[in-house]
Structures are given as C-alpha cells and as structure tokens.
Amino acid sequence: MKSHGLLGKLAMTGTCGFLLLAIVIPNLVHAQSNPQPAAHLRFDVASVKVPTDQGVFEAYFVRDSGPHITWTTQLAALIHYAYGMQTWQISGDTLAGRIYAFDVVTDPKTTDDQVRLMFQTLLAERFKMTIHTVDKDMAGMALTVSKDGTKMQEAKDASIPPWPEWLPDEVKRGDPAHEEGKIVDIIEAGGAGPALIVGRRVTIPQLTDCLSRDVQQPVFNLTNLPGEYYFAFEYTPNNDPNIDAPPLTGALKKIGLNLEKHTGPVETIVIDHIEEPTPN
C-alpha cells in the first residue's frame, strides 16, 4: 500500500536489499474482538495468489494513489497491518511465514482505516481466520511531557507549515500537504546512519505507535496531550557511538518529551484458526 506521496517499501531477499527504509504511518485501527470486522467492509475486487518467487517481497505495506493496491508480503505482515498491531502483540499460526501476492481494488476515496478493515474481512473470508483479544501486562516505555513542557508545534488552524529545512531531500521532495496526518519514519538498513521521525499534524498515540515499532516494545502514552502536532527529530538506532545523533531519549527531550521504563496493559490478539486461502 502506499502513502499519498512518500514511498515506503523495502525489498527483502533474506537480508536488507536497500540502504533506506521509509515508512509513512497512517492512523492505526485497534484490534476487533469480533473475528469479522464490524460493517463487513470488503474490497470491490480481491485476488490472493502464491508468487512464483518466495524470496522477494515488500516488507511494509505502501498504498498507491487510486483504487488499485498490490502487495506481495508475508501473511504475518498483512495481519500486523490489518489490525494495527506490532509483532509482539500477535500470537498463533501465521502459516509459517508463507508469502502471498495481494491484488485488490476499492474506491479511491477509501480511507486507510477502511482499507485495514477490508483486509480484516479478506483474512476472515479467504483465510478463514478467527481471533480473540487478550489484555496482557507488558514491560515497555512510557512517553511523558518534560517538566518544561512540550516544544512541538501544535496544529491549531488549517495552515500547513513547510518541511524543516534540515530534513534530507528524499523527504522534502514530497508535498507536505499530502503528508498531513502521517508520520514519516526513516531507518537506514542495519542502523548504518541516523534514524529520522517526522510528524505532520499527528496525535501522540500515532507517535507512540511509531516508537513502539522502532524499539520493539510497548510505548505507553502518559502525556495527556490531546492535540495534533508537527515535529521532526533524528536519533541514533541502538545507541551506536559512531553515528552523529543523540540516542532516542535525548532526541525526544529536544521536543519536550521523556521516555522512561514502564509496565502496563497491552491489547493483543490470538489467532485461533487460519487456513490456506480459498481460490480466486
């Protein structure tokens, strides 16, 4: 699937084949306790095939403009996308990492959240997938506001600020108006350089969703900030001393946020049943 502007895909051949991974993250949909999504939203046309080459696939879903969406990926990645959850929030059979080619068509006005629900329907109907949800206490990190307050720019009107000048050209070439409501998350393959997170009129839950994927553990929103914000920062993945950027905690402090250890409840889903997909 594609964002409406910046590309975000990574070709996988067992190891990372590209030097740069750019992900644009829309609002996430929470897992449904019902195995069939409410309203039963469906794609107009949906094809599921096993690709001839099981070694090359797109690691992250990128939405293309228009009604036609194609995505060749491991089934687990599709499940993570459809339910807006991280790897550690999903347990059960995902068909042993099998790769499928998804080719779907829907109305071009369909929102990202609706596309996720449509993929939930596809999983239920074509893969006979059923789930249930479980809340689990997990160790993670808490995002809080620094004592001096946040330094992020709050979106209070319809004006759209330009990209910060210091951002790399691969980010700034996109029209900032097309990225409103999204987060751009760029990590070089293997952590070879600074990571970059750019928020464009986004909520703090969107930021914590992004951070939880990057640090691979829950990040709890304890900021009590209800608004939408603009921000941009670089940080060093894995605290590599050879990279000229602060650690994630230091980068967040620059925009008035703290990241501290915390344990709390996390919603997870358990896959109760799944089958090979029915024929097209």
Q: What angle do CA 207, 181, 170 make, to 5 degrees?
A: 85
Residues 119, 46: contact at Cβ < 8 Å? no
* Per-residue confidence (pLDDT) for residue 66, from 0 to 100: 65
Q: In the beta sheet, which residues pair with residue 261?
A: 141
DSSP string, 162-195: PPPTTS-HHHHTS-GGGGTTEEEEEEEGGG-S-E
* Per-residue confidence (pLDDT) for residue 20, from 0 to 100: 37
Q: What share of the chain is helix, strand, coil (3-state, %, to 5)?
A: 25, 35, 45
How far apart (Å, rounded) are the C-alpha atoms in residues 253 and 98? 41
* Per-residue confidence (pLDDT) for residue 155, from 0 to 100: 95
* Per-residue confidence (pLDDT) for residue 35, from 0 to 100: 43
* Per-residue confidence (pLDDT) for residue 109, from 0 to 100: 85
Rounded-to-10 torsion of CA 81, 236, 149, 152? -60
* Per-residue confidence (pLDDT) for residue 59, from 0 to 100: 61
Structure tokens given for 50:
């096993």
Other Cβ atoms less than 10 A from the Cβ of 166: the count is 8
Residues 119, 81: contact at Cβ < 8 Å? yes
* Per-residue confidence (pLDDT) for residue 5, from 0 to 100: 30
Residues of the chain with pLDDT under 50: 1-38
